[in-house]
Amino acid sequence: MNTTDTLQRCVLIGLLMLLGPLTALATDQHRVLPGDTLWTLAEHYWGDADRWSDLARYNRITDVHQLPPGTLLSLTPPPVAQVTHVQGDAWLLTDADLRALENDALLQANVRLQTGVDAFLVLSFADGSEAVIPSQTRVRLVHADDSIQLTLEAGAVESHIAPQKRLGGFQVHTPAGIIGVRGTRFRVQYQPDQSLAVSVFSGAVALDLPALAADAQPLQDNQGYWQRGDQHFQGPLLPAPALRQNWQRRGTSLQLELEPVAGARFYRIGRARDQRFTTLVEEHTVSEPKVVLQQVTEPALYLRVSALDEHGIEGQIALHVLWQQRAP
């Protein structure tokens, strides 16, 4: 370091000391001083100079040999997702404990998330994509620099994917393999019996599964795929069941009935607070085409109904709005 650089560094340090709290930085930030390099900063903060590439990536630095003095650097990875809706109990899992998730929480890569019974979680990403995490699901947010990757450890993920320039912009990893999508609305379920079920409501899905059947094709609109061991099935989704108009309200409960669908083993009925069906309130999977919803107090009910076949593949979804009373 030459005399000029040393003098500049001393002046800048002196100014920071004089200004005190007005220029105090968060512990996860660093203001570049003359003579700083990515290597020396990585060594100083993390004790490992080889982590200079992490620092460059966090701050999107293209010329790693030029750090203009005064530049504000982040020492932590940028958030890759935001919690935009929580219903019920949902947690961020760490090695030590559980941390309850709240609306607007920012999430970094490599975190694990868990939803409880009758709980729902919605994650939003920078490109406009959303992932709906239903109850009793465990996922890991793996990475989201140039793509979005979720590892589904157990449960289900329903995703509304913004159009991508290339296939694989959004991926769901499961123990059975990888599902890559583009411009798609789809649902993936992975169960403890190691069965995988994929439903494609719109768009396209590419399957990258070690045990993929030789005759399996990329999934298109209105198609589903199921696999368990060496067994597999690929075919069209069941049609959405019609909602009968003989629904009844008793106090704050509402009894609904669906038209039976040929080939349906189960029916799924959900309720949300918005037309896009991202603010889930409750969801039921029943063996008969009827269900009773509890604690129904809002004047407008946003409902969606679907049928599941013998493999657990969810069929096409129908959306309904029920008006309980006239708006004032």
pLDDT for residue 237 is more than 90: yes
180 and 229 inside one domain: yes
Residues in the chain: 328
CATH number of 159's domain: 2.60.120.1440
Exposure pattern of 172-203 as b/e (b: 16+ CB <10 Å)?
Answer: bbbebebbbbbebbbbbbbeeeebbbbbbbeb
Percent of the chain with pLDDT over 70: 84
Into how many domains does the chain fold? 3
CB–CB of 172/208 below 8 Å?
no
- Averaged over 215-237, what is the pLDDT? 87
- Bigger pLDDT: 58 vs 239: 239
**Cα–Cα distances in angstroms (integers) from residue 295 to residues 43, 91, 166, 250, in the given order:** 56, 24, 44, 10
**Cα–Cα distances in angstroms (integers) from residue 106 to residues 38, 222, 261, in the given order:** 26, 34, 41
46 and 119 inside one domain: no
Fill in the amino acid letter for 225. Answer: Y
| Closest by Cα among 199, 155, 157, 162 to 182 | 162
pLDDT for residue 316 is more than 90: yes
Residue 241 domain-assigned (yes or no): no
DSSP code of residue 243: B
CATH number of 317's domain: 2.60.40.10
Mean pLDDT taken over the chain: 82
User: Quick one: pLDDT at residue 263?
Assistant: 96
63 and 90 inside one domain: no
| Segment 134-193, tens digit of pLDDT | 999 999 988 655 677 889 999 999 888 766 544 446 888 888 888 887 667 889 999 878
Residue 164 domain-assigned (yes or no): yes
Of 81-90, 178-187, 228-237, least confident by mean pLDDT is: 178-187
Residue recorded with tokens 């293209």: 62
- Averaged over 286-298, what is the pLDDT? 88
CB–CB of 176/196 below 8 Å?
yes
112 and 232 inside one domain: yes
CATH number of 48's domain: 3.10.350.10
291 and 199 inside one domain: no
Residue 328 domain-assigned (yes or no): no
Residue 59 domain boundaries: 3-74
pLDDT for residue 18 is more than 50: no
Question: Reduced to 3 states, what is the DSSP secondary structure of residue 28?
Answer: coil
User: Quick one: pLDDT at residue 328?
Assistant: 41
DSSP code of residue 5: H
Where a domain ends, among 74, 91, 111?
A: 74
CB–CB of 303/243 below 8 Å?
yes
56 and 158 inside one domain: no
117 and 257 inside one domain: no
| Closest by Cα among 126, 174, 128 to 154 | 174
